[in-house]
Amino acid sequence: AAAAAAAAMEPERECRVLSIQSHVVRGYVGNKAATFPLQVLGFEVDTVNSVQFSNHTGYAHWKGQVLNSDELHELYEGLKLNNVNQYDYVLTGYTRDTSFLAMVVDIVQELKQQNSNLVYVCDPVMGDKWNGEGSMYVPKDLLPVYRDKVVPVADIITPNQFEAELLTGRKIHTEKEALEVMDMLHAMGPETVVITSSDLQGPLGNDYLIALGSHRRTKADGTKVTQRIRVESPKVDAVFVGTGDLFAAMLLAWTHKHPNNLKVACEKTVSAMQHVLQRTIRSAKAQAGGNKPSSAQLELRMVQSKKDIENPDIIVKAAVL
């Protein structure tokens, strides 16, 4: 008991994340959507802002600067010279530039040489489906970089259905095909694959969005164990920006806290998402007063959701497949 008490007294080992994402002055996307939840959940977050914009690009106007790969390298060199380039996690999201993405891969590989336990969480943001039709909203030459360089060094990836299809070259029409695609993605490198949204039909019907997760680990004796889950969450009728960035950050945190239980990690992540989105839509509708809410009114209610992020009431359950 004395040993347990002593252990309880010891502070939890500091866990540090290098997050390379966009920054906006106003609103919540990229690093602005990822940093606060990670800090609330007890992580130290070092941010590299791949862009600095006034606001996200869904507004009528936006202004700002873009960081290039040389500038990214320079920032990393500064950390290295001070010997403070030790990380437990790297987190990346939306990127438009192939040389920037290639530099990220170089940095991740170098950090993994220093810490073989480093976990790289990558949201391979490339495009999405609208009314059943998929289209890329980044330059096409990013796909081979993600497929051949980024995914092989990633440990956790969070593509949507369209991005999973792009990475594997296979279309998904059924849950069985989705599981096969996730197996193909595992074979490329990542231990954990979460297809964050799909147009598959689930048991609960049309008003629910299906996410699928797969966690494959190798046991001490060399055998592989795979846990697969399905999460159905209520659709929210609005276009939010920054939700994917928030999802990836919270998934990083909850998989850290529940390393071999993807079911619980996803339940906490998706439940927290629901709390944030419901609060955001209520607030946006109140502000819009019967009109269609604007981009500014639909900014995620992040600070107001602090308690839900920290300790989410589980309102969405995952089914083990």
Please write the tens of the pLDDT for every residue from 71-85: 999 999 999 999 999
Q: In the CATH scheme, what is the code of domain 16-320?
A: 3.40.1190.20
How many angstroms separate the Cα of 174 from the Cα of each of 1, 63, 133, 205?
52, 42, 16, 14
Of 219 and 23, more confident: 23
Tell me the mean pLDDT in the region 204-228. 93
pLDDT score of 133: 87
Q: Average pLDDT over the chain, rounded to whole?
A: 95
How many angstroms separate the Cα of 75 from the Cα of each of 90, 199, 271, 297?
15, 40, 36, 34
The sign of the CA dihedral 196, 199, 200, 205 is positive
Dump the DSSP string for 100-128.
Answer: HHHHHHHHHHHHHHH-TT-EEEE----EE
Residue boundaries of the structural domains of the chain: 16-320
Does 7 have pLDDT greater than 70? no
As beta bridge partners, residue 212 has: 195, 230
Q: Which of 88, 97, 155, 245 is catalytic?
A: 245
- Is 236 exposed, middle or buried (CB count within 10 Å of its CB: 0-12, 13-18, 19+)? middle
**Residue 245 a catalytic site member:** yes
Confidence of residue 66 (pLDDT cuts 50, 70, 90): very high
Query: CB atoms < 10 A from the CB of 257, how many?
Result: 13
Tokens representing residue 201 in the block:
């039909």
Whether the model pTM is above 0.75: yes
Confidence of residue 4 (pLDDT cuts 50, 70, 90): low
Does 6 have pLDDT greater than 60? no
